[in-house]
Structure formats: structure tokens, C-alpha cells
Structure 1
């Protein structure tokens, strides 16, 4: 393995994390688990975190219609996995009401009918959801209480109970989560990733440029044995 010639003119290589070093699969798993927990929670049912972890594939397949819903919403501009879960719940309630929400095929059909710039429709979705469910619009709107609660549930699934409490300073709503952060996989074969990083670090300064907080970035690169290849001030 050798470096491509065009890299000769650069002394620093900067990597994004998600979709470049790390796979996005765990984020989508977290989004699906968040939708599942939140809809159950608002129906008065408490989920079992351990059972959900064992059934991640089934839950994700059901919630996101074999990932078709992910593709549709991402294609319409949903760029945050927090928003992916939030929009899914709004549509589920619009289609089926707040007590009969688990027909996700209707959610996929509804999502396909939305405009290609879905971000402009967030307020409309919240208004329609308020009309359908009786929930307050202020509670439903983006960055309102509903959105914030779903964000925290997502972070609990991703970080796990212990790291969530350490980061946010309070115990999560529903405990028993070990953290999908510790189950992350690189987007390429791990041995190949190590070889690439090793080769780059011999003559280049290797750094990251990512929206991830440091506390979410460090565990995977430590677990995969590539932290040593990054510049000391490059993380």
C-alpha cells in the first residue's frame, strides 16, 4: 500500500468521522430505538432496554420500513438523526393517532408525499399532529419539549446510562442501556483502516474535523487501535 501522488502537496489530512471513518448504522439503530421507546412511552408502556437491544434489527426494519423511510427522509433534507426520529413520530401520530401509531407503512407513504425540502414542513407537521392528537403545538414543535425528550432518549441509547449521566448530569428516563457507542464499527475493514492510518501518519499530520463531541469520538478510535496515528492536537 502506498499513498496517492496527489497527497504529496499536503502535510495534513483531516478526516470526518461519520460516514468516513465510522459507519452510520449505529445512529440509525439509535433513531429506530428512540422512535420505538418514545411511542411506547407516550402510550403508557415502558420498554425493556435489554430486549430492545436483542431485537434492534427487527425494530429498525419495522420503524423505518426496511430503511426505505430513512432514504426518503434523508433525500428530502433530514440531515440530523435526532430529526429523523422526531419527524417519524410526528408522521406516525398524524397517520394513526396517538394510541394506534404502529402502522409504519402509512408513515412511509405519507413521507413520500411531502415536499422535497422537508425542513420547511416541520412546522406544518407539528400543526397537523396537534390537530390529530390534541397535543399542544408548542410541545410538538421542533426544539420543543417533545424534540428535546427524543434527543435525550437517542443520546441514552448511543452513550449508555453511565456516560449519559456523566455528560448531562441526570439519570435518563428509562435506564438499562449499555450504549451503542461501544458497538461501533469502522466503515472499512478494521485491519485496512489501521494500515491506512499508519501509512498516513508516517509523513502526514492526521487530524479529525467532526461535529461529534470529543466524548463520542474517542471510544471507537481507541477501541480500533488507531488513536496513536492522530496528531496530539489533531483530535
Structure 2
């Protein structure tokens, strides 16, 4: 009998669309802004109108083909999506520079890449690769040659660098300076000028970003979600959250919609908490979904020491008492690792098309949206 219900946020309560918009704009900025690579071919502004956001999203993710491919390989973090998409084009740029600069261009991929190295690439591109053309769709073709899944995709970039540039490197990983740069730039877009300093400890590199945090799109009308979670709480269920969003990006929109108050504060687990676990246990990183730690912490409570959560024996013996509600394969895999029940909502990126995949993996329940949970309890 189910006693604890743990919910994902994106694709269950809130639409992922704004996250994907911010991801696309981050890649766009890092490719075309004069503060980053400054490539020719696409004019950059820190304050794009909605029509331009739609255009850039369509281009960067090749009409969502790249996005769908990344999601299908188990990547659930927008930070990782940005890192993968931008790093791939950076490797292609180094390849284009090699005929003119020789080993200097590709050797830049061997060590850490931060702002200084990005600045160097910008100057080289301006002088020697003015005709370089970004090819977003090529991403899928190159990655499809391998079978890398989840975190393996990030380090697979090292293999692509060797194949394209003839250089051996281990630089591409989630612990790299470049990943950190991608993460911070994404936060600028999502949080905007006013809120970003609290997240990354500095102001935006290029002011003018209003952010998407106050422009969230609820999947179900907030009043209906409030009634749902109120009903579940009154029935005695313990409600928690396991999300890939950082804390501020979870609390602000859910609080403004009146949803957050129905969840046990000790069981609202975010990417910020997962990063703390990774810092304490770096050998286990990355621990974003499908790693189960966010849901394990939600199950045990935030006051449970990280060491205890990391070592908690899985699968649990009382799996029938815990239900995870999510929209992605990553959520499903986390639930299976824990050994608990899983309810899939068909309100993620793939919509109703995801039904076949969840039927294939034998999800315990498949719901049109989160409101259907009352029908299975």
C-alpha cells in the first residue's frame, strides 16, 4: 500500500519548454556572442523577443531532433544538454582551425577550457575560420555512431575530439571548467539579471536577461494541482519532490502558484542538494537522474546525512509503499533502482508518443497527466 509519493517537477507540474528555451539560448550565446566564440552568421542579443527565441530553439536543437536524441540517451539535466551541444560545435571549430594553426588549435582541447581559452578560440576563428559554419544536426549523427548513455555521453566527447581532431584528451567531463561555464551561463538565462547572483555568485556576463523563472508554464491549472495535492495530503500520503531543478528554480514558481506548501519541506530535494552530495562524494559524480539519489533523499528526508543516503541499501524492501511520479525514462530508471512503484505522466517533451516507450519498459502506471494519480490509489 502506497504511503509516500515523490514527484518530479518538469514534465509533471511545470512545462519543460522554458528550460529548453534557456538551454538553446545559452548555446546560441556561447557560439555567437562577442563575449564568447563570436562566430559569424547569427546576430546575438541578450534580450530576444519571443519569435527569436522560437527561431533559435528550432535551430540549436535542429527542430528538437538533437533534444529528443539527448533525452533518449538518458540525459535529464539541462546543464548537461548545453555542455554537450556547445562542446560538440567547439570540437568542430578546432577541427576547422587545424589546417591553418596545426597542433595549436587541437591542443587547446587537451587542458581545461575556461574563458581565457574561449577568448583565444574567438580570436583564432576571426582570423582563420571566418567561414566556419555551425552544423547543429551533425551532433546526432556523430553521437549515434556510439552507444554512450547518460553520463557516458559527456566523456564520449573525448572520443569525438580524437576522431575529428586527432588529439587525445580527457578534458570533456562534468568536472571540467567548460561544464561550469556552460552551467553558469544557463543560470543567467533562466534566472535573469536580478536573481542570478544568488545562484552563481556573480552578476550576468552580459546584462539584459530578464529570465524565465516568473514566466513558467503550468501543465495543469494551478488550482487543480492545489486541489490534487491537498486531497492527497488529507488522505495521509507523505508528499515529496525529486527534481533536477536547483532550489531557487523549484521554490519560487511552486510557491507563487500555491503548490509548494502541500509538500513536506524535508522531502523537497533539488539539484542543489544533489550537488552537495557530489561535492561530499566526488567519486560518485555525476549523480543527476537517472541516479536515484534525489528520490532516495526525498524518501529518507533532507535531514538524513548524505553518507547514510548514499549507502542506503537498494532496492528497498518496502517498494510497494513508495511511488515515484515522473515523465521521463530517467525517472523510471531511478524508480527501478530504488525498487519502488513508478507512474509515468504523458506530459513531458514527447507527450502521448511516450506511451509506447513506457509500455515497453513496463511502467507500473501510465497517466495522461498528474491528475490521474487519484485513479490508481
Structure 1 length normalisation: TM-score?
0.79
Change beyond 3 A, Cα 1:200–1:128 = closer
CA RMSD across the alignment: 3.1
User: Does 1:113 find its partner at 2:163?
Assistant: no
The gaps in structure 2 that reach 5 residues or longer are 97-124, 269-377
- Counterpart of 2:28? 36
Contact 1:11 1:203 in 2 (8 A): no
Deviation at 1:234, TM superposition (A): 4.8
- Counterpart of 1:48? 45
User: For the residues of structure 2 that align with 1:56 and 1:178, how far apart are their CA atoms?
Assistant: 13
Decide which of 241, 261, 264 is 1:208's aligned counterpart: 241
Change beyond 3 A, Cα 1:213–1:51 = closer
Change beyond 3 A, Cα 1:200–1:114 = same
User: For the residues of structure 2 that align with 1:144 and 1:101, how far apart are their CA atoms?
Assistant: 26
Decide which of 169, 193, 202 is 1:170's aligned counterpart: 202
Decide which of 252, 265, 286 is 1:219's aligned counterpart: 252
Deviation at 1:128, TM superposition (A): 4.2
Decide which of 59, 62, 66 is 1:65's aligned counterpart: 62
Contact 1:20 1:187 in 2 (8 A): yes
Please identify the structure whose Cα radius of gyration is greater. Answer: 2
Deviation at 1:168, TM superposition (A): 2.5
Deviation at 1:133, TM superposition (A): 7.2
Q: Secondary structure in 2 aligned to 1:43? A: coil
User: For the residues of structure 2 that align with 1:60 and 1:31, how far apart are their CA atoms?
Assistant: 8
Contact 1:90 1:129 in 2 (8 A): no
* Higher alpha-carbon deviation: 149-158 or 112-121: 112-121
Q: Secondary structure in 1 aligned to 2:240? A: strand
User: For the residues of structure 1 that align with 2:179 and 2:167, how far apart are their CA atoms?
Assistant: 13
Deviation at 1:197, TM superposition (A): 1.9
Contact 1:39 1:101 in 2 (8 A): no
User: Does 1:228 find its partner at 2:261?
Assistant: yes
- Counterpart of 1:146? 178
Change beyond 3 A, Cα 1:231–1:120 = closer
Q: Secondary structure in 2 aligned to 1:225? A: coil
Contact 1:93 1:101 in 2 (8 A): no
Change beyond 3 A, Cα 1:133–1:175 = farther
Deviation at 1:21, TM superposition (A): 1.9
Q: How many residues align?
A: 227
Decide which of 3, 6, 14 is 1:14's aligned counterpart: 6
Kindly indicate whether structure 1 or structure 2 has the higher relative contact order, using CA contacts under 8 Å at least 6 residues apart.
1
Contact 1:50 1:177 in 2 (8 A): yes
Contact 1:17 1:210 in 2 (8 A): yes
User: For the residues of structure 1 that align with 2:223 and 2:259, how far apart are their CA atoms?
Assistant: 10
User: For the residues of structure 2 that align with 1:15 and 1:127, how far apart are their CA atoms?
Assistant: 36
Which one has the bigger helix percentage? 1
Q: Deviations over 1:56-85 (max 9, x none)?
A: 211111110111111112222333221111
* Higher alpha-carbon deviation: 183-192 or 120-129: 120-129
